[in-house]
Amino acid sequence: MNPKNTRRDMLRSSLVLGGSLACFGGASSWSAPARAQAAGAVLKNDRYYVFCYFSGGWDVLLGLDPREPSTFNNGSLSATGIQPGYDLLPTADQSLVRVDVGGRRRIFGPYIGELAAPGLVERLGVVRGLSMDTLTHEVGRRRFLTGKQPSGLSARGSSAGTWMASALGIGDPIPNLVVGAETYNVDQPTYATALKVATGNDLLRALRPAGPTLSPLLQRQVDAHLASQADCAAARHSPMRSTAELARQTTKEMLEGRLDSLFDFTANTPSVLALRARYNMNINLGLGTPEAQAAMAAQALIGGVSRAVTIEVAGGLDTHFQNWATQQGPNQRRGFNAIARLARHLQETEFPAGDGSSWLDHTVIVGFSEFSRTPMLNASMGRDHHLTNSCFLLGGPIQGVDIGGSSDRGMLPQPVDPATGAVLPEGSADPLKPDNVLQTLYDDVGLGTRPDLRVPGISALLRA
């Protein structure tokens, strides 16, 4: 077994979190890089990923897939089955956002926030009219995380973050970091299993040396004793004792590296104060806010800690009642704004390749939710679950394009050509699904069909 793999594997086992550590999936001694090399693939080792989850099912009419209120109004409900309801929102939030990009007009809902700002909207890829094939929160969420339809409620594949950590993150201290979201590893090496924490506070507890501490002299004596015990013949012939010693050494190295300092947003140092200002972070609300999680993702990437980070940037979106008008949009906008600030941070930080590129040039940000809300308001003036969805991608090789679209009657999924992004005649192709979105990332990085999603990627999303 590769010693580097073993050290990384056992580090996962040795960390005890205040939150919960993701359950290990099936480990493989043949790593993804080795499999890719055997298959003749060339992986793009300069790719990084942030997966941003909007929890509860967002209303795409308010953000990613709006409708013109002059056409889709109360007088046209019988013909369209679409009720945007913009007139029920606060006056300041009733207008669509229209942006001219390269001679074409892009239109977003009133709560898209800073994500549609110049410098970002040109790189923002939006995929509309996705078919989720479910109205169940758990199934939709796990479908988007893995690209595979769950078996019942059980995930059938590894998360995209797990695949990317397996392929690219073997040398990173925490290849796969997940904060406040789900993660799965069913077929990848154990080192790719996510370090899963509930909030940033849990991450700090995991990375910070715990007390009481020993005096330097006593600590050296303990280390020398443990090393001598590990070097004895019995220990060298015991796989369990050998891996335990590797875990001890690796954990010691990590704690001595003080990675916790990257995520201590309560410090009043100039750099942390600037970081809090950049993200408009209120530390009195703790480290579980969208702003803190977005900053955590940036620090994990730029700090050389992680290859893939998954965060939850919005909650409270399951708005079946009158809270739709007051809660859905503002919660979405807060998530969009947090991601926009993350993207700006990456955009303004030089990537260490010496070619003048930025971290955003090498990082793909994916924003998703488990499904959308119904296009018609219900009797409680809220919206129920709708199987049609949208998502967005930003950064890396992603083009600023609009792919596909939901229908203008009932907002249903429509067939789409993955090569052009154009909507096709009914019955001529399949609607796009989360599987296609994740396959796009796998195609770009060089994993190809090894995740076995059995769908084409959306090549129209990628720069030629």
Residues 227-246 have a mean pLDDT of: 76
Mean pLDDT of 396-424: 98
Q: What value does the mean pLDDT of the chain take?
A: 89
Q: Residue 347: which residues within 8 A CB-CB, separation 6 or more?
A: 119, 120, 358, 359, 360
Alpha helices in 51-199, H assignment, sequence order: 77-80, 137-146, 160-168
pLDDT at 297: 98
Q: Where are the alpha helices (DSSP H) in 257-373?
A: 270-279, 290-302, 323, 329-347
Give the relative orientation of helices 160-168 and 434-445 as an angle to the nearest 10 degrees.
10
Rounded to the nearest 5 percent, the helix, strand and coil shares of the chain are: 40, 15, 45
pLDDT tens digit sequence for 295-330: 999 999 999 999 999 999 999 999 999 999 999 999
Asked if 22 contacts 70 with a C-beta cutoff of 8 angstroms, the reply is no
The answer on pLDDT for 1 being more than 50 is no
Report which listed range, 79-93, 213-227, 254-268, is most confident: 79-93
Q: Among 29-33, 34-38, 274-278, which range has the highest average pLDDT?
A: 274-278
171 Cβ contact list (under 8 Å, min separation 6): 4
Give the H or E element holding residue 436: helix 434-445
Whether omega before 212 lies within 30 degrees of 0, making that bond cis, reads: yes
Q: Fill in the amino acid letter for 289.
A: T
Q: What are phi and psi of 105, to 5 degrees?
A: -95, 125
Asked if 206 and 13 touch (Cβ cutoff 8 Å), the reply is: no
| 94 pLDDT above the threshold of 80 | yes
DSSP secondary-structure letter at 51? Answer: E
Give mean pLDDT, residues 266-291: 96
C-alpha dist (Å) from residue 123 to 231, 367, 398: 54, 14, 6
pLDDT interval class at 237 (50, 70, 90) = confident
Query: Are residues 318 and 386 in contact, defined by beta-carbon separation less than 8 angstroms?
Result: no
First vs last Cα of the chain: how many Å apart? 39
Please report the pLDDT score of residue 241 as a whole number: 74
Q: Is the pLDDT of residue 3 over 90?
A: no
The DSSP string of 112-139 is -GGGGSTTTGGGEEEEEEEE-S---HHH
**Range in 95-99, 100-104, 116-120 the model is least confident about:** 100-104
Q: Is 153 helix (H, G, I), strand (E, B) or coil?
A: coil
The number of C-alpha atoms within 13 Å of 1 and in the hemisphere containing its C-beta is 18
Per-residue pLDDT at 171 exceeds 70: yes
Longest dimension (CA), the chain: 84
Say whether pLDDT at 14 is over 50. Answer: no
What residues does 393 pair with on adjacent strands? 125, 366
More confident residue, 182 or 225: 182
Element (H, E) at 196: strand 195-197
pLDDT by residue (tens digit) across 325-373? 999 999 999 999 999 999 999 999 999 999 999 999 999 999 999 999 9
pLDDT at res. 247: 60
Once rounded to an integer, what is the mean pLDDT over residues 131-136?
A: 97
CA distances from 203 to 15, 225, 237, 260, 281 (A): 10, 30, 35, 8, 17
Which of the two residues, 16 and 208, has the higher pLDDT score? Answer: 208
What is the model's pLDDT at position 82? 98
| The model's pTM | 0.88
Residue 203 in this model has a pLDDT that exceeds 80:
yes
Q: Give 421's contacts (C-beta < 8 A, 6+ positions apart).
A: 401, 402, 403, 404, 458, 460, 461
Total Cβ atoms within 10 A of residue 98: 11
